[in-house]
Amino acid sequence: MRVLVVEDEPVLADQLASSLGQAGYAVDRAPDGVEGEHLGAVNPYDAVVLDLGLPRLDGLSVLRRWRQAGRNMPVLILTARDSWMEKVDGIDAGADDYLTKPFRMEELLARVRALIRRASGHAVATLRCGPVQLVPATGQVTVGGTPVTLTGHEFRLLSYLMHHQDTIVSKSTLTEHLYAQDFDRDSNTIEVFVGRLRRKLGADAIDTVRGLGYRMRSREA
Ligand code: CA
């Protein structure tokens, strides 16, 4: 899962990036509205955290441009305290949720998880594919009830496949959702990670659909 943070306050931007990174997301950052708008227009993010008060181009304009261009990723806006108008304007401009500054990082992470869950059509907080279970809130993965330890990349890959279960996901889509902008990408590494996940989760946990990609199934065949 890959998240964009558009925030001009350096300390808060650092905190957001490191908390989201620790929670298992690949994180891209933009310090102003122009760069943020560009990144959100060209990259496929699973969620965006967008401050409304931004230099060069304000957050509401950024959001409106994305929505006008058909970008429909979930967007959580950060609004100034006591500004109910900002919230109304933000929601009308296409925001999916908002948080008022200052906020607890735990709450932001919970809201981002919920946005990603809803965007992929899941109402429940625990994802299941046959014997494999993943709890996004804790990062815990179990197979038949037994905990499994995954690296950051393995977790991200598994999380994406489980959020999009019963769907064939191409290698290039996985590459785009696993790595941040500045990461040296190599789509061959996806095969390596899938191989490692199969060793940890069971050989038939992930299907290879020849020529198309990978798929995890909600029920065992
Ligand atoms: Ca700001």
- Terminal Cα-to-Cα distance of the chain (whole angstroms): 26
Where does the chain hold its CATH 3.40.50.2300 domain(s)? Answer: 2-119
Distance 161 CA to ligand 1 centre (A): 34
In the block, residue with structure tokens 């808060």: 12
Distance 146 CA to ligand 1 centre (A): 44
Is the separation of the CB atoms in 94 and 64 below 8 Å?
A: yes
Q: Which CATH class is domain 2-119?
A: alpha beta
pLDDT band at 220 (very low <50, low <70, confident <90, very high): low
Tens digit of each residue's pLDDT (9 = 90 or more) over 89-105: 999 999 999 999 999 99
Distance 10 CA to ligand 1 centre (A): 10
pTM (2 decimals)? 0.91
Distance 177 CA to ligand 1 centre (A): 26
Mean pLDDT of the chain: 94
Distance 58 CA to ligand 1 centre (A): 9
Instruction: Output the CATH code of domain 127-215.
Output: 1.10.10.10
Is the separation of the CB atoms in 174 and 197 below 8 Å?
A: no
Tens digit of each residue's pLDDT (9 = 90 or more) over 47-84: 999 999 999 999 999 999 999 999 999 999 999 877 88
Integer CA distances (angstroms), 4 to 29, 30, 199, in order: 6, 8, 31
Where does the chain hold its CATH 1.10.10.10 domain(s)? Answer: 127-215
